[in-house]
Homo-oligomer: A and B are copies of this chain.
Amino acid sequence: MKESTEKAKIASGIVVSSRVRLARNCVDYPFPPRLSIDGAIKVVDSFKSAVIDSKNALVKKLSFIDFSKMPPLERASLVEKHLVSKDFALKREFTGLILSKDETISLMINEEDHLRIQSILEGLQISKCWQCCNLVDNIIEENIQYAYSDELGYLTSCPTNVGTGMRVSIMVHLPALTMLGYLQNVIDTVNKIGITVRGLYGEGSDFIGNLYQISNQVSLGQPEEEIITKMEVIAQRIIEQEELAREKLKESATQLEDRLFRSLGIFSNARILSSNECMKLLSDVRLGVELSIIKSINMEIINELIVVTQPANLQMHYKSILTPSERDIKRAELIREKLGGIKNV
């Protein structure tokens, strides 16, 4: 793919973000499910040293965080940002987190595997995420010997990750395919080629806000580059299908505008807004912005609002513990603040 096309697709907004993560384990210790406390502490220290003591320029961007000492709200906010997994946030002790300042790289130590390396970037940037992960992976491999089998590849706690240990995910916003009822068809098609479609927060989470996480299911038997290419092709196909669906919606231009502007009206005026309704309205507003129907809001604010209106991030923003009803009021308040009293037109 040419860089200009890549940029266009990043900007298109249909792919909200791309993520690549690698699962790795140290050859010297049992895998986390059977790891002793002593072993866990040593694993955290080993990876901390391997990364932080490296002289690679990338490392300057990274900091080590004693995850077990992080307050629960802050942990939850990282889950909402997709920087750590829900399971990892619930683990209380003997875990470590290495995070880049710009929050594009995160390393979970002692999650399901000894190490999970993740890179997350906005838009469709799978290759770039992979390059990032690869770079970090190489830095670590200078000091640590991974559990690796010539026959199987990287060894992991869960057999589904054995091989490349790689999972590639894109978060896509598919309002038009959803509205027109074409989405199940898309899901069925990609399922057949070993691709999973899940909600915003992984397995079991609802498809709120017309946001879908699309990721590879199997990491065995395919080289990394092949997985990357496959996911890029799938992303392109989904973008095309969503764009076609949007063209179809535009055939009833006034009805579409009516829907999107009503959502904007509620979004920017409500005084009580649940997380679910917020995501639903955000989806419409996002579509309006992407189709240049809504011109008073830019995409950065939309992307910021997707994160900051989530329960934990909202509480982090207001620096206080809030009940669900208090959150619904503060969420509406924050939206009005962020939209800065936009003009209805």
Q: Which of A's residues lie within 8 Å of B, judged by CB?
A: 254-255, 257-258, 261-262, 264-272, 329, 332, 336, 339, 341-345
Contacts and interface: CB of A to CB of B under 8 A. Distances in A.
Contact of A270 (B261, B268, B332): B261
A336 B341 contact: no
Contacts of A339: 344
Given A254-B329, A329-B254, A344 B268 contact: yes
A266 B263 CA distance: 8
Contact of A261 (B257, B261, B271): B271
Contacts of A267: 265
B266 A254 contact: no
A17 B28 CA distance: 87
A106 B206 CA distance: 62
Given A254-B271, A268-B265, A271-B254, A336 B345 contact: yes
Nearest to A254: B271
Which 7 A-B pairs rank lowest in CB-CB distance, beginning with the nearest?
A: A265-B265, A265-B269, A258-B271, A261-B269, A268-B344, A258-B272, A257-B271
A262 B343 CA distance: 15
A309 B257 CA distance: 20
In the complex, the count of this chain's copies comes to: 2
Contact of A344 (B258, B329, B342): B342
B254 A262 contact: no
Contacts of A269: 261-262, 264-265, 344
Given A254-B272, A266-B266, 11 more contacts: A254-B329, A257-B271, A258-B332, A261-B269, A262-B265, A264-B265, A265-B265, A265-B268, A336-B344, A336-B345, A342-B344
Contacts of A262: 265-266, 269-270
Contacts of A270: 258, 261-262, 265
A309 B266 CA distance: 22
A241 to B, nearest CB: 26
Contacts of A258: 270-272, 332
A344 B336 CA distance: 8
A254 to B, nearest CB: 6
Contacts of A266: 262, 265-266
Contacts of A265: 262, 264-270, 344
A270 to B, nearest CB: 5
Nearest to A343: B341
Contacts of A342: 343-344
6 contacts: A255-B272, A258-B271, A261-B270, A262-B269, A268-B344, A343-B344
A341 B265 CA distance: 12
A252 to B, nearest CB: 10
Contacts of A329: 254
A199 B342 CA distance: 37
B345 A343 contact: no
A262 B264 CA distance: 10
A275 to B, nearest CB: 15
A332 to B, nearest CB: 8
A255 B343 CA distance: 24
A170 B272 CA distance: 36
